[in-house]
Each structure stands twice: as structure tokens, then as C-alpha cells.
Amino acid sequence: MSYYGWKPYVSVAERRKKAEKAASKAKKSGADLSPIEPCRGAIAKTFWGKAWCDNLERYSDYANRLPRGRTYTRNGSVIDLKITAGEVRAQVAGSRLYTVHVSVAAVAATRWQAIGADCSGSIDSLVELLQGKLAKPVMERICTPDTGLFPALKDIQFSCSCPDWASMCKHVAAVLYGVGARLDRQPELLFSLRRVDAKDLVAQAGAGLPKAKKAPAASKVLDDSALADVFGIEMAELAPTPAPALRRTKASATKAAKALAKPQAAKTAKRSAAGTTETASKLPPRKPVKAKAPAKSAAASPKSAGKPPSARPKPGVR
């Protein structure tokens, strides 16, 4: 310790080494830790985390303690941080390991209903809500100081096991910034911390949507006959087409193939017979064949026709 009672300066590297050593020791003793990872630059990077940190920095009573808390958070000194309904419990590594408890009051029922009514019709889904993809008026309404979702100074109570006499020590400030870093990954914890259900906003948004229109009266609906008169067409009722079978067994497929083959074979035979008849009808008529005359005998030859039978030579006589 220095002459003026201030503790000596501890470098960032040394403080980070202390935090890692404390975390390792706690894990060996069986503790289930959920640390805030060390970072550079902005601690929170998403809509909900940034909104939490912006709300925190509005408190003038915390102005002199918040910068030290940011340093501790960036260095990874918050080795454990758990958010449950209405409270935050954490462990911060300093000159030794300190325990921090933060209590946050629940949102008043009337305020929560007012937030839901003002946001009605502007939130489409829970995913959109938690991702921060909201219209600007909705985000401004949720983040409005004193009437929005973030706690006011009077809603936060905290304690730390360190000997610092200040109303807010650097360890508490580190934990409050750690809440903003945790909301980057788990924005639904904000609703748990304020003891409300995020689904209520979506439900009220759905209730604010216009209801479906009623069906027209039966007297105002044209029937098929009237439509036919208007458009000059016949309104034929189509029989529903049965859905085709999705799967066929091998036996049913073979049977179906045979059933299709029989009429096809009959058609083929009929066409063949018709083709033969048609071909025969187109052929030219055949000429009748004359019968040949019987061969003339030697007696009927012209040389012997004029001679008497007696003058004819007898066979075998010369």
C-alpha cells in the first residue's frame, strides 16, 4: 500500500492472470461458473446489451464508479454471473475473490400492460423481439426511462463483500456492465430479470391485429346455374380423381400388365384381319381361265379328213 493509503496499481495483464487463477480455483472446488469473457472496446454490441448499458450510464450517482467497473469487465474479472428472476449473483476477482448480489424490482403490472398496448401490432414474432429487429417507435417505447422495461435507480439494490464503503463499488459496477454483455447472447434474461414474460408482448400484438372478415351471406353468393347464365358456359361437376396408389407390389404390377395386354392383343388381331380384307378388296379382278381343247387324234388330222376309210392305210400293211 502507498503512503496515501491507495493500493498499488495493478496492470491489465496481471489482473487478468488473477482472474484466471481465481476461476480455475473455483472450478476445482466444484463451482459451476458462467464468466463474462474479456473484450476490447464496447462491452455490449447488440440492441439489448447496448440499451442496458446506456440506461446504466444515465445514473449520475454511478458516474464516478462506472469507469472502474468497465475496466474490470473488459479484463475478464467477472468470473461468474448468473441472472435469475429478479436478481443477479456474481463473483468478481479483485485483490481477492468478492461476491456481488444485485436485486432488481419487478415491473409494475400497469406499466407492463401499457408497454404491451403501445407496442400492439408492431411485433410480429418472439424471434423478432429477441433479435431486436423492431421498429424504432417500439424500441424507444421499451427503452423509455422510468416507464420502459429497464430499471430505474430506485429499482436496483446491490451488495458486495468487499470493504469499499461507497454506495456502488467497482465490483458492483463491473457486474452491472456484465449484465449488458450477457444480454448480447441471452436477451430473454432481461424479461426474466424484470419478472415478466416476453410472450405477453407478442400475444398482445396479435390481439391488436384486425379480425378476419365474415363470410358473405348465402343470398349474395351466385349458384352454378346463375354463373352459367352470366358467362354462357355450362358448369359441369367434375368427379374427384382418385389419388394414384403410391406403391405397387410385384404381383399387382404383373396382373395389371396382363390385363392391359389382352385387349391390346385383341385390337391387334382385329386390325390385322381388317387390313387383310382391305388389301384383298383393292386387288384387280382375275380373268377367267379357258379350258384347253382335247388333243386331236391322228384320225382327225386334215390330211386324212378327205379320204375314205378304205383308202386309209392299215397299220402293219404296206
Tens digits of per-residue pLDDT, 69-101?
999 999 899 999 999 999 999 999 888 889 999
Rounded to the nearest integer, the mean pLDDT of the chain is: 74
The count of C-alpha atoms lying within 13 angstroms of the C-alpha of 140, restricted to the half-sphere facing its C-beta, is: 3
Distance (Å, whole) CA 52 – CA 74: 16
pLDDT tens-digit map of 190-202: 999 999 998 888 8
SS3 assignment, position 210: coil
Neighbours of 79 (CB within 10 A): 25
Instruction: For the chain, give the percent of residues with pLDDT over 90.
Output: 28
Give 53's DSSP letter.
H
Record the cell numbers describing residue 310, joined without a space. Answer: 378304205
Is the full-model pTM beyond 0.75?
A: no
Task: Give me the phi and psi of 178, to 5 degrees please.
Answer: -60, -30
268-313 pLDDT, tens digit per residue, is: 666 665 555 555 555 555 555 555 555 554 444 445 445 555 555 5
DSSP line for 212-241: PPPPPPGGGS--HHHHHHHHT---PPPPPP
